[in-house]
Structures are given as C-alpha cells and as structure tokens.
Amino acid sequence: MRSGIQNKMCWSRALLTGWVLLLVQLLCFEAVPISMDKTKVQEPEKKIEEPPPSVDTGLHYDRYLREVIDFLEKDQHFREKLHNTDMEDIKQGKLAKELDFVSHHVRTKLDELKRQEVNRLRTLIKAKQDLEGGNDIAVDHQALLKQFEYLNHMNPHTFEVEDLDRLIKSATKDLENFDKERHEDFKKYEMMKEHDRREHLKALDDNERKKEEEHYEDMRKKHADHPKVNHPGSQNQLKEVWEEADGLDPEDFDPKTFFNLHDTNGDGFFDEQELEALFTKELEKIYDPTNEEDDMVEMEEERLRMREHVMNEVDSNKDRLVSLDEFLVATKKKEFLEPDSWETLEQNQAYTDEEMREFEEHLAVEQMERLKTQKVEPPPEVHVQENAIPEMHAFDTQLHPEQEAQPQGHQPAPQDPQYTPQEHYEQHQDLAQQGLPQTHQDLPPGHQEAAQGQHHLP
C-alpha cells in the first residue's frame, strides 16, 4: 500500500476535485517502475522521502480545509474506514458519519479549528462593512454566515458530522467551478482594460489620440511577433521540454521516461500543477515580464487554457489527473503526432462586442449610483450675529463610505488615469479569495435582503 505521506497527498487540490483518486491513491499499489535507458538518462539519486509541500486549492477556505484534513489523517479509525469507502459513499456523506468514532483529541482539535474559522469569517464580514461605511449598523452574523455553505453556522462551537459532510461537498463543487470562475474574472479584467483604454482616448486631443492609437497597435503587433507555439501536449511540445528543460537528445524521446521525469511527486499521475509546469517553455515564447506589450495576467490565462485542453484530450476518466496509462494512450493518437496549430489568446478575444457593451452599461449604472450616494444637501442658512461661531452640522465632518475606505490617502477609482486594470483585478481577487461577496447582488439568492436589513443580535 502507499505510504502515509502519499495517502495524505490524496487531499490535494487535484484529488479533491474528483474524489475518485482519493480512493485510487489509497487502494492502488506503487506505480510500476518505468524502464529507462541508463546509457542516455542518468538515474536520479535516491533521496529520503519527505512530506510533500501543502498544495493550495485556491479556495478562500483552503487553510481550514487542509487543517481539517491533516487532523483527520491522524486518526487510525478514520484512515481505516477511508480504505473501504467508495466514491459514491463519500459523495452521499457516509464517510462523514465516521466522524462520530474518531478520537477525543482529534474531535477537540476540530472544534477549535471550526471556532477559529467562524471568527475569521465574522472578522471579514465586519471589515467589509467598515469599508462600505456601515460603522453604525450592527451586523447580523447569523444571517450573513449562511452564504458560507462549507460549515454549519448554526453551531459555531463544535465540529460535527454535518460540518464534515458540508466541507466535502462544498470543496468538490467549488473546485469543479474554480476554473470557470477564473475565466469569468479574466474576461472582466480584459473588458475593464479595454474600457479604461477607451476612456483615456476620450480625454486626449486629436493629435495625442492618434499617437496613442498608433502606439497601441504597435504593442499589439509586437506581442504577436513571437516564435511558433507548439500545440500543448503534442509530441513536438514535449520533445522541446525533453531537449531544453531536461537536456536530452530529442531523437531519444521516450514517453515513459518523460512521464517519470516530470511526475515530480512520484505518485504515478500528472496533476494540474505538474501539467502546467510543462507549458513554461511555450509561455516564455509569448510573454516576458520586462516587455511593455506582454501582460502577465494574460499569461496565466493562457497557461490555464493549455492545461484544460490537455486534460480534455488525455484525461479519459475525467478525474482531473493524468495516469501513466492515459498518457501512453494519448501519445499514440494522431493528434499527438500531427497536431493542429495552437491559437493563442491574441487570436481569441476573451469577450464579444455584446458582452463589452453590457459591461460598459453596467459600469455606467454603477457610476450613477455612486454619484447618488455621494450627493450631500447644502446646510441650511445660519444667521451669524457678530462674532458668534455658526453651528457645525453632522454632515460637515462625516466621511462618505468611499472616503472612509481611504484613511491613508486617496485610492484612485477605476476612472482615474493612474488606476490600472490589473490593480482593479487584484483588488477584486483579494476580496474574492477571502470569501466575501463584492456586493449584495453577489450574495446567494435570499441573502441580499438579510445583508441589507442588518439588525442587532438579541
């Protein structure tokens, strides 16, 4: 059987997405040794096995998820049950019921982890309210905690069977939607970048506008002028890695040896991170962080596109992992030997004209709403007699929500010239990674009213 360290790796981001490999990793034997031509490939030295680094799932509750997993792995009873539980039983919550039988020490630690997570969420909710200028409004934490479905908010003190069941189901669902959400965020980033460019052009005179448009076209052409990009996962692409990254003769390319060299954790599978590492050479052909014309946010989107394409082509059982057998089967296909050309991002605009139009209309509505909230009625006339000091009204010293969120100085709004689309994208990502909805409209159905009608807890 696999060692305890390899069992623990089953809970990484890739394994969580399908839960199938959770069992495969636990129940299968060690990967079959891969034959290598020792005259051409130097056998790596054997090293003492060390625990693999923690894999960030990308979920806003990643730390909580991994800490729960770490402690459950320490309970012998839970580990034994895991060996005998199939995928469907896990999805139906049967594994979660085994929580009743774990040791007192583990249950106590899980209780503590849950209390810490609830406190973290409450702190984030309060911080978001402060940024929005709601300092005088009490927060109904119970109502707002409902949006976080991965824990039972009605019992904030102890970790129960329902909490484990919710965590498993939420992680599975959220990770399956993770890439989709990344694509949507990237689309918004690209539209904001184009919107800001158009707004900037409007502020220029005819001569400056012409120069700016010429510069924009020059940058586009310069970015598109790069070496040919190999089709991800094709023989040509892998041979290039074999030659340039591995330092081996492309004439000696062997799929089994290649798989062994790049299965960095030695678990017999290519996970998403190991696959993405194979595309670094291709991405370096297109993107250079020192070049004005190259956008590193776009580079990560290209990396995601490449990985998704290979997974769709090679991952036959859709468990988000590529086994050795799946890899070898793929290397025998026509698509591997004679692939089509790969169309990069500059050949595939992230949004349609209709989506751009709707996006700008939405921004215009947001701007109007922002102006309405900033409007302040002038103070009533005050007749001052001789040296009397006129009365100060409350609104004279009150900051608006936008001002309260900027105590250390002005933070430019999306319309400001110095505000870049990447800064807007990163601010949005920071809040999203913390698990907080950006507006009341981002809350799940039924919670918008709760957020707007916050009241004192009894």
**What pLDDT was estimated at residue 142?**
63
To 5 degrees, how large is the angle CA 308–CA 313–CA 316?
105
Spatial CB neighbours of 84, under 8 Å, sequence gap ≥ 6:
none
At 93 the pLDDT is 73
Phi and psi based region of residue 439 (left: phi greater than 0; alpha: psi -120 to 50; beta: remaining)? beta
Identify the band that residue 12 occupies on the pLDDT scale cut at 50, 70 and 90. Answer: very low
Q: 53 versus 290: which is more confidently predicted? A: 290
Amino acid identity, position 444: P
Query: CATH 1.10.238.10 occupies which residues in the chain?
Result: 176-353
Per-residue pLDDT tens over the stretch 328-364: 999 999 989 988 889 999 998 999 999 999 999 999 9
Tell me what percent of the residues of the chain surpass a pLDDT of 90.
37
- Cβ atoms < 10 Å from Cβ of 111: 15
pLDDT score recorded for residue 172: 75
The structure tokens listed for 376 are 């302040």
357-391 pLDDT, tens digit per residue, is: 999 999 999 989 888 887 655 555 545 454 444 44
pLDDT at 26: 35
CB 180 within 8 A of CB 146: no
Instruction: Supply 101's token pair.
Output: 């039988």
What is 176-353's CATH number? 1.10.238.10
State residue 74's pLDDT score: 86
Cα(14)–Cα(21) distance, integer angstroms:
9
Between the CA atoms of 314, 44, 42 and 270, what dihedral angle is there, to the nearest 10 degrees?
0
Whether the Cβ atoms of residue 265 and residue 9 lie closer than 8 Å to each other? yes
| Eight-class DSSP state of 269 | E
Q: What is the DSSP string of 170-221?
A: HHHHHHHHHHHHHHHHHHHHHHHHHHHHHHHHHTS-HHHHHHHHHHHHHHHH
Give the three-state DSSP class for 399. Answer: coil
Q: Both ends of the chain: CA-CA distance in Å?
A: 54
Contact 322, 306 (CB under 8 A): no
What's the pLDDT score for residue 141?
A: 60
Instruction: Kindly indicate the confidence band of residue 11, based on its pLDDT and cuts at 50, 70 and 90.
Output: very low
